[in-house]
Amino acid sequence: MGGLDIHMRGVACRHGRVEAVADIDLEIAAGETVALTGTNGSGKTTLLRAVLGLHRQVTGTILVGGRGATSPAEWAWRRRSCAWIPQKPAAGRFPLRGEELLTSSGAPAEAQEAADRLGVGPLARRPLHTLAGGQLQRMYLARAIGSVAAGAGVLLADEPTAALDFAGQEEAADVLTSLPVTLVVVTHDRTLAERCDRVLEMAAGRLREGR
């Protein structure tokens, strides 16, 4: 199994005066699949965004594949190494089309093939904001598959099955847990959590091992 390891020591994240994440120590081995569960607002999204450098008010140490990120070149490496399925797609200034999202994976042909397999290939010409929630999640999953084909060793997925129908949830769980990467998936979906090697629970910004 491929993948990169993740190391966190004393990680804390603030949103202004709100301490969203506190005192996180975590080791995830290369190729491990980890479900991150917990109450709403407990800091799960903030923690994933911190790994990607999308959240700036972060202290402590985060290493992916043994490498920290400070310089723009290091952050560029981190973003290539970590495929990302966001909870809410960023609203850009211009409507982004499906095929642009797929191309942003770094492996457009593989991402398009994955979109075809997931049943959203023909929708790739449409602006993303015109897709139904489940179609959009499938498009992001296809982009993540492209990112892995392009060399990402980690997949950070934020509630990737929340908008899917039952069959879609099963299919997405199969795809997510069989990719040759380290998976950290924020989810409230028990079936997906049960398929992961470890379940971690967050409450009020702190982490504990669920099983």
Ligand X SMILES: Nc1ncnc2c1ncn2[C@@H]1O[C@H](COP(=O)(O)OP(=O)(O)OP(=O)(O)O)[C@@H](O)[C@H]1O
CB of 38 to ligand X, least distance (A): 6
What is the pattern of x (binds ligand X, CB under 6 A) and - over residues 40-69? xxxxxxx-----------------------
Q: Does residue number 18 form part of the binding site for ligand X (CB under 6 A)?
A: yes
Applying CB under 6 A, does 70 fall inside the site for ligand X? Answer: no
* Interacting span for ligand X (CB under 6 A) from 12-20, 22-30, 69-77, 134-142: 12-20
203: contact with ligand X by CB under 6 A? no
CB of 93 to ligand X, least distance (A): 19
To ligand X, the closest distance from the beta carbon of 17 in angstroms equals 9
Q: Indicate whether 168 belongs to the interface with ligand X (CB under 6 A).
A: no
CB count within 10 Å of CB 157 equals 27
- Of the candidate spans 14-22, 27-35, 129-137, 165-173, the one that interacts with ligand X by CB under 6 A turns out to be 14-22
Closest distance to ligand X from the beta carbon of 64 (Å) = 19
Taking the complex as a whole, how short is the minimal distance between the CB of residue 158 and ligand X, in angstroms?
Answer: 7
141: left (phi over 0), alpha (psi -120 to 50) or beta: alpha
# chain residues binding ligand X, by CB under 6 A = 10
Q: How far is the CB of 47 from ligand X (least distance, A)?
A: 7
The pair of structure tokens assigned to 132 is 């139904």
Could you give the CA distance from residue 144 to residue 147 in angstroms, rounded to a whole number?
5
Cα distances (Å, whole numbers) of residue 173 to 14, 157, 168, 185, 195: 31, 11, 8, 10, 8
The half-sphere exposure of 109 on its side-chain side, counting CA atoms within 13 A, is 0
**One-letter amino acid for residue 63 of the chain:** L
Where does the chain have alpha helices with state H? 44-52, 72-81, 98-103, 108-117, 133-149, 166-178, 190-194
Q: What is the DSSP letter of 69?
A: -
Binding site for ligand X (CB under 6 A): 15, 18, 20, 40-46
